[in-house]
Structure 1
Amino acid sequence: MSLLIAETEDLDTCLELRFEVFVREQGVPPEEERDTLDDSATHLLATQDGTPVGTARIVFQGDIAKIGRVCVVKSARGTGLGARLIEACVDVARERQGITRAKLGAQIHAIGFYEKLGFEAFGPVYLDAGIDHRDMVKPL
Protein backbone atom coordinates (compact mmCIF):
# COMPACT_ATOMS: atom_id res chain seq x y z
CA MET A 1 0.00 0.00 0.00
CA SER A 2 1.44 3.30 -1.08
CA LEU A 3 0.28 6.66 0.32
CA LEU A 4 1.39 9.86 -1.39
CA ILE A 5 0.55 13.42 -0.31
CA ALA A 6 1.74 16.09 -2.71
CA GLU A 7 0.91 19.50 -4.10
CA THR A 8 -1.31 19.19 -7.15
CA GLU A 9 -2.72 21.19 -10.02
CA ASP A 10 -5.58 18.66 -10.33
CA LEU A 11 -8.24 20.91 -8.85
CA ASP A 12 -11.07 18.84 -10.36
CA THR A 13 -10.12 15.78 -8.31
CA CYS A 14 -9.80 17.87 -5.14
CA LEU A 15 -13.23 19.39 -5.78
CA GLU A 16 -14.76 15.94 -6.34
CA LEU A 17 -13.42 14.75 -2.98
CA ARG A 18 -14.66 17.89 -1.24
CA PHE A 19 -18.10 17.55 -2.84
CA GLU A 20 -18.34 13.95 -1.62
CA VAL A 21 -17.40 14.81 1.97
CA PHE A 22 -18.75 18.31 2.51
CA VAL A 23 -21.84 18.42 0.28
CA ARG A 24 -23.03 14.80 0.21
CA GLU A 25 -22.03 13.75 3.76
CA GLN A 26 -22.18 16.99 5.74
CA GLY A 27 -24.92 18.81 3.84
CA VAL A 28 -22.90 21.92 3.01
CA PRO A 29 -24.60 23.86 0.19
CA PRO A 30 -22.56 23.43 -3.03
CA GLU A 31 -22.40 27.20 -3.56
CA GLU A 32 -20.71 27.60 -0.15
CA GLU A 33 -18.20 24.79 -0.63
CA ARG A 34 -16.47 26.19 -3.73
CA ASP A 35 -15.14 29.75 -3.66
CA THR A 36 -12.83 32.07 -5.56
CA LEU A 37 -9.89 31.27 -3.24
CA ASP A 38 -9.55 27.88 -4.95
CA ASP A 39 -8.02 29.59 -7.99
CA SER A 40 -5.07 31.03 -6.03
CA ALA A 41 -4.71 28.37 -3.31
CA THR A 42 -2.07 25.68 -3.06
CA HIS A 43 -3.85 22.31 -3.17
CA LEU A 44 -2.62 19.04 -1.71
CA LEU A 45 -3.94 15.66 -2.81
CA ALA A 46 -3.54 12.39 -0.94
CA THR A 47 -3.63 9.18 -2.97
CA GLN A 48 -3.59 5.60 -1.73
CA ASP A 49 -2.26 3.25 -4.42
CA GLY A 50 -3.17 5.90 -6.99
CA THR A 51 -6.73 6.43 -5.73
CA PRO A 52 -7.60 9.92 -4.40
CA VAL A 53 -8.50 9.69 -0.68
CA GLY A 54 -8.03 13.17 0.75
CA THR A 55 -7.30 16.80 0.03
CA ALA A 56 -6.58 20.15 1.65
CA ARG A 57 -5.79 23.65 0.48
CA ILE A 58 -3.57 26.46 1.73
CA VAL A 59 -4.29 30.13 1.13
CA PHE A 60 -1.33 32.40 1.86
CA GLN A 61 -2.31 35.79 3.34
CA GLY A 62 0.46 38.01 4.67
CA ASP A 63 2.43 35.94 7.18
CA ILE A 64 -0.38 33.38 7.60
CA ALA A 65 -0.93 30.06 5.87
CA LYS A 66 -4.70 29.44 6.10
CA ILE A 67 -5.32 25.69 5.89
CA GLY A 68 -8.79 24.73 4.80
CA ARG A 69 -11.12 22.40 2.95
CA VAL A 70 -9.44 19.44 4.65
CA CYS A 71 -11.25 16.20 3.93
CA VAL A 72 -10.67 12.46 3.95
CA VAL A 73 -13.01 9.96 2.29
CA LYS A 74 -14.94 7.69 4.61
CA SER A 75 -12.96 4.57 3.69
CA ALA A 76 -9.66 6.22 4.72
CA ARG A 77 -10.78 7.73 8.04
CA GLY A 78 -9.17 6.46 11.21
CA THR A 79 -5.93 5.64 9.39
CA GLY A 80 -3.95 8.73 10.39
CA LEU A 81 -4.37 10.26 6.94
CA GLY A 82 -6.01 13.44 8.29
CA ALA A 83 -3.04 14.11 10.56
CA ARG A 84 -0.61 13.43 7.73
CA LEU A 85 -2.51 15.87 5.48
CA ILE A 86 -2.30 18.61 8.12
CA GLU A 87 1.40 17.90 8.71
CA ALA A 88 1.99 18.12 4.95
CA CYS A 89 0.21 21.50 4.86
CA VAL A 90 2.35 22.76 7.75
CA ASP A 91 5.50 21.55 5.95
CA VAL A 92 4.49 23.44 2.78
CA ALA A 93 3.78 26.57 4.85
CA ARG A 94 7.17 26.35 6.61
CA GLU A 95 8.92 26.32 3.24
CA ARG A 96 7.22 29.56 2.17
CA GLN A 97 9.25 32.71 2.85
CA GLY A 98 7.70 35.02 5.45
CA ILE A 99 5.05 32.62 6.77
CA THR A 100 5.07 32.59 10.58
CA ARG A 101 1.77 30.90 11.47
CA ALA A 102 -0.63 28.27 10.23
CA LYS A 103 -4.31 28.99 10.87
CA LEU A 104 -7.48 27.00 10.31
CA GLY A 105 -11.16 26.98 11.15
CA ALA A 106 -11.89 23.72 12.95
CA GLN A 107 -15.27 22.08 13.23
CA ILE A 108 -15.95 21.92 16.96
CA HIS A 109 -15.85 18.11 17.09
CA ALA A 110 -12.32 18.19 15.56
CA ILE A 111 -10.66 20.65 17.96
CA GLY A 112 -8.99 17.86 19.97
CA PHE A 113 -7.60 16.37 16.75
CA TYR A 114 -5.95 19.68 15.81
CA GLU A 115 -4.71 20.30 19.36
CA LYS A 116 -2.75 17.02 19.13
CA LEU A 117 -1.07 18.49 16.04
CA GLY A 118 0.03 21.62 17.91
CA PHE A 119 -2.81 24.01 17.09
CA GLU A 120 -4.40 26.19 19.77
CA ALA A 121 -8.02 27.38 19.67
CA PHE A 122 -8.82 31.07 20.03
CA GLY A 123 -11.79 33.37 19.62
CA PRO A 124 -15.50 32.60 19.66
CA VAL A 125 -17.45 29.75 18.09
CA TYR A 126 -18.92 30.77 14.71
CA LEU A 127 -21.05 29.20 12.00
CA ASP A 128 -19.44 28.26 8.69
CA ALA A 129 -21.76 26.57 6.19
CA GLY A 130 -24.16 25.89 9.05
CA ILE A 131 -21.53 24.04 11.13
CA ASP A 132 -20.01 25.33 14.41
CA HIS A 133 -16.31 26.18 14.02
CA ARG A 134 -13.55 27.78 16.05
CA ASP A 135 -10.31 29.31 14.77
CA MET A 136 -7.03 27.64 15.64
CA VAL A 137 -3.42 28.70 15.12
CA LYS A 138 0.03 27.12 15.22
CA PRO A 139 3.29 29.10 15.23
CA LEU A 140 5.77 27.91 12.60
Structure 2
Amino acid sequence: MSRMKAECMVRRASDADMDAVLAFAAQIFADEQDIPKKLNFIPADKQPQWWCMEQDGELVGTAAIYREGGQWHMGRITVARRLRGQHKGTFLLKRVLDDVFAQDVDNIFLEARDATVHILTGFGAEIAGEPFAFYCGNVTPMILTRTAFLQHTNG
Protein backbone atom coordinates (compact mmCIF):
# COMPACT_ATOMS: atom_id res chain seq x y z
CA MET A 1 0.00 0.00 0.00
CA SER A 2 1.52 3.34 -0.99
CA ARG A 3 1.20 6.36 1.21
CA MET A 4 0.66 9.79 -0.28
CA LYS A 5 3.45 12.22 0.39
CA ALA A 6 2.42 15.05 2.66
CA GLU A 7 2.29 18.47 1.09
CA CYS A 8 4.67 21.16 2.20
CA MET A 9 3.48 24.51 3.46
CA VAL A 10 5.42 27.77 3.62
CA ARG A 11 4.79 30.47 6.21
CA ARG A 12 6.51 33.42 7.80
CA ALA A 13 8.68 32.28 10.67
CA SER A 14 7.59 33.50 14.10
CA ASP A 15 9.92 34.54 16.91
CA ALA A 16 9.25 31.13 18.47
CA ASP A 17 10.51 29.43 15.28
CA MET A 18 13.80 31.28 15.03
CA ASP A 19 16.06 28.99 17.08
CA ALA A 20 15.00 26.00 14.98
CA VAL A 21 15.14 27.95 11.70
CA LEU A 22 18.66 29.24 12.35
CA ALA A 23 19.88 25.83 13.52
CA PHE A 24 18.39 24.10 10.45
CA ALA A 25 19.94 26.56 7.97
CA ALA A 26 23.27 26.59 9.81
CA GLN A 27 23.51 22.80 9.79
CA ILE A 28 22.83 22.49 6.06
CA PHE A 29 25.30 25.23 5.16
CA ALA A 30 27.99 23.87 7.50
CA ASP A 31 27.59 20.25 6.35
CA GLU A 32 27.28 20.88 2.62
CA GLN A 33 29.19 24.09 1.93
CA ASP A 34 31.58 24.54 4.87
CA ILE A 35 29.96 27.88 5.70
CA PRO A 36 30.53 28.76 9.38
CA LYS A 37 27.31 28.52 11.40
CA LYS A 38 27.77 32.03 12.80
CA LEU A 39 27.29 33.51 9.31
CA ASN A 40 23.62 32.47 9.18
CA PHE A 41 22.49 35.01 11.77
CA ILE A 42 21.17 38.25 10.22
CA PRO A 43 21.46 41.27 12.55
CA ALA A 44 18.26 43.14 13.45
CA ASP A 45 19.51 46.35 11.78
CA LYS A 46 19.19 44.54 8.42
CA GLN A 47 15.42 44.08 9.02
CA PRO A 48 15.45 40.31 8.42
CA GLN A 49 12.28 38.44 7.56
CA TRP A 50 12.40 34.64 7.63
CA TRP A 51 10.16 31.96 6.14
CA CYS A 52 10.00 28.29 6.95
CA MET A 53 8.75 25.36 4.93
CA GLU A 54 7.18 22.50 6.87
CA GLN A 55 5.99 19.02 6.03
CA ASP A 56 3.91 17.15 8.63
CA GLY A 57 4.93 19.78 11.19
CA GLU A 58 8.65 19.23 10.54
CA LEU A 59 10.91 22.07 9.40
CA VAL A 60 12.21 21.16 5.93
CA GLY A 61 13.26 24.49 4.40
CA THR A 62 14.14 28.13 5.05
CA ALA A 63 14.58 31.43 3.25
CA ALA A 64 15.19 35.00 4.38
CA ILE A 65 15.24 38.53 3.05
CA TYR A 66 17.14 41.43 4.57
CA ARG A 67 18.19 45.03 3.82
CA GLU A 68 21.79 45.73 2.93
CA GLY A 69 23.18 48.80 1.23
CA GLY A 70 19.68 50.21 0.75
CA GLN A 71 18.54 47.14 -1.21
CA TRP A 72 16.57 44.01 -0.37
CA HIS A 73 18.53 40.76 -0.56
CA MET A 74 17.39 37.15 -0.35
CA GLY A 75 19.40 34.30 1.07
CA ARG A 76 19.64 31.47 3.57
CA ILE A 77 17.66 29.32 1.13
CA THR A 78 17.66 25.70 2.27
CA VAL A 79 15.72 22.51 1.56
CA ALA A 80 16.16 19.24 3.43
CA ARG A 81 18.35 16.90 1.39
CA ARG A 82 15.69 14.15 1.27
CA LEU A 83 13.25 16.50 -0.49
CA ARG A 84 15.58 17.75 -3.20
CA GLY A 85 14.73 16.94 -6.79
CA GLN A 86 11.01 17.19 -5.99
CA HIS A 87 10.63 20.91 -6.86
CA LYS A 88 10.33 21.85 -3.18
CA GLY A 89 12.91 24.63 -3.64
CA THR A 90 10.82 26.10 -6.44
CA PHE A 91 7.72 25.80 -4.24
CA LEU A 92 9.49 27.53 -1.33
CA LEU A 93 10.90 30.36 -3.44
CA LYS A 94 7.60 30.99 -5.24
CA ARG A 95 5.70 31.32 -1.94
CA VAL A 96 8.36 33.55 -0.38
CA LEU A 97 8.63 35.79 -3.45
CA ASP A 98 4.82 36.10 -3.67
CA ASP A 99 4.91 37.40 -0.09
CA VAL A 100 7.95 39.66 -0.63
CA PHE A 101 6.60 41.33 -3.76
CA ALA A 102 3.19 41.81 -2.07
CA GLN A 103 5.07 44.07 0.40
CA ASP A 104 5.76 46.64 -2.36
CA VAL A 105 9.36 45.50 -2.78
CA ASP A 106 10.37 46.49 -6.33
CA ASN A 107 13.36 44.20 -6.73
CA ILE A 108 15.48 41.77 -4.80
CA PHE A 109 19.14 40.84 -5.10
CA LEU A 110 20.52 37.35 -4.59
CA GLU A 111 23.82 35.52 -4.74
CA ALA A 112 22.60 32.14 -5.92
CA ARG A 113 24.07 28.64 -6.16
CA ASP A 114 23.63 26.88 -9.51
CA ALA A 115 20.38 25.07 -8.61
CA THR A 116 18.86 28.33 -7.40
CA VAL A 117 20.02 30.21 -10.52
CA HIS A 118 17.96 27.77 -12.60
CA ILE A 119 14.84 28.31 -10.45
CA LEU A 120 15.20 32.09 -10.37
CA THR A 121 15.77 32.34 -14.12
CA GLY A 122 12.40 30.62 -14.53
CA PHE A 123 10.89 33.36 -12.37
CA GLY A 124 12.38 36.09 -14.61
CA ALA A 125 15.55 36.87 -12.65
CA GLU A 126 18.57 38.16 -14.54
CA ILE A 127 22.24 37.51 -13.92
CA ALA A 128 23.76 40.72 -12.58
CA GLY A 129 27.46 39.82 -12.52
CA GLU A 130 30.07 37.13 -12.87
CA PRO A 131 29.93 34.08 -10.59
CA PHE A 132 32.43 34.20 -7.75
CA ALA A 133 33.80 31.74 -5.22
CA PHE A 134 31.97 31.49 -1.90
CA TYR A 135 33.12 28.72 0.43
CA CYS A 136 32.48 25.38 -1.35
CA GLY A 137 31.42 26.46 -4.81
CA ASN A 138 30.39 29.58 -6.66
CA VAL A 139 27.48 31.97 -6.38
CA THR A 140 26.04 34.12 -9.14
CA PRO A 141 24.76 37.66 -8.48
CA MET A 142 21.17 38.00 -9.67
CA ILE A 143 18.35 40.51 -9.58
CA LEU A 144 14.63 39.79 -9.76
CA THR A 145 12.12 42.58 -10.29
CA ARG A 146 8.50 42.42 -9.20
CA THR A 147 7.42 43.06 -12.80
CA ALA A 148 9.46 40.16 -14.21
CA PHE A 149 8.34 37.83 -11.42
CA LEU A 150 4.66 38.61 -12.00
CA GLN A 151 5.05 38.19 -15.78
CA HIS A 152 6.83 34.84 -15.44
CA THR A 153 4.52 33.41 -12.78
CA ASN A 154 1.24 34.75 -14.18
CA GLY A 155 0.87 36.78 -11.00
TM-score by length of 1: 0.85
Is it true that 1:132 corresponds to 2:135 in the alignment?
Answer: no
- Structure 2 Cα separation of the partners of residues 75 and 37 of structure 1: 32
- Which of 39, 48, 63 is residue 56 of structure 1 equivalent to? 63
- Which of 36, 43, 55 is residue 43 of structure 2 equivalent to? 36
Structure with more strand by fraction: 1
- Structure 2 Cα separation of the partners of residues 14 and 39 of structure 1: 17
- Structure 1 Cα separation of the partners of residues 136 and 33 of structure 2: 10
Q: Secondary structure at the match of 2:144?
A: strand
- Which of 10, 13, 17 is residue 8 of structure 1 equivalent to? 13
- Which of 23, 29, 50 is residue 30 of structure 2 equivalent to? 23
- Structure 1 Cα separation of the partners of residues 64 and 107 of structure 2: 15
Aligned Cα root-mean-square deviation (Å): 2.3
Tell me, which stretches of 5 or more residues in structure 1 are unaligned? none
Query: Quick one: higher RCO (CA 8 Å, sep 6+), 1 or 2?
Result: 1
Is it true that 1:69 corresponds to 2:76 in the alignment?
Answer: yes
* Alpha-carbon shift at residue 69 of structure 1 (Å): 0.5
- Structure 2 Cα separation of the partners of residues 58 and 126 of structure 1: 21
- Structure 2 Cα separation of the partners of residues 52 and 58 of structure 1: 18
Change (3 A) 1:121 1:37: farther
Length, aligned pairs only:
139
Change (3 A) 1:103 1:39: closer
Look up the equivalent residue of 2:131 and give its one-letter code: V
Between the aligned residues of both structures, percent identity stands at 22
Q: Deviations over 1:3-37 (max 9, x none)?
A: 21000121111112112210022211223333425
TM-score by length of 2: 0.78
Q: Which stretch of the first structure deviates more once superposed, 6-15 or 109-118?
A: 109-118
Change (3 A) 1:38 1:133: farther
Change (3 A) 1:38 1:118: farther
- Structure 2 Cα separation of the partners of residues 48 and 124 of structure 1: 36
Query: Considering only CA atoms, is the larger Rg found in Structure 1 or Structure 2?
Result: 2
